[in-house]
């Protein structure tokens, strides 16, 4: 389940960082909700936790696409 030598294992975390930076660029000028810093910190920790625990079951195009789409949706919903 956790193959630390797999490039895909580490690229998931890099992809998530890229998503968070892109979302930050688009939402930079928006009005902040109450407890913004706490909410963003907890959301980033939760998103990275889910992404880290997401298993790499197969290396086929369907599963990898599903995994990255799921990461995108989780990130979009929390941040």
Three-class secondary structure assignment of the chain: CCCCCCHHHHHHHHHHHHHHHHHHHHHCCCCCCCCHHHHHHHHHHHHHHHHHHCCCCCCCHHHHHHHHHHHHHHHHHHC
Place of tokens 């997401």: 54
Spatial distance between the Cα atoms of 54 and 57, rounded to a whole number of angstroms: 9
Each domain of the chain, given as residue ranges in start order, spans 7-78
Contact 54, 71 (CB under 8 A): yes
Per-residue tens of pLDDT for the chain, all 79 residues: 677 788 888 888 898 898 889 888 988 888 988 998 898 898 889 889 888 888 888 888 898 888 888 888 877 765 5
pTM of the full structure = 0.76
């Amino acid at each position: 389940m956790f193959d630390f030598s797999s490039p895909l294992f580490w690229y998931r975390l890099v992809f998530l960082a890229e998503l968070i930076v892109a979302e930050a660029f688009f939402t930079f000028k928006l009005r902040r909700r109450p407890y913004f810093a706490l909410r963003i910190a907890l959301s980033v920790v939760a998103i990275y936790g889910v992404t880290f625990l997401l298993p790499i079951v197969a290396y086929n195009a369907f599963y990898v696409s599903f995994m990255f789409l799921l990461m995108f949706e989780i990130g979009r919903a929390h941040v």
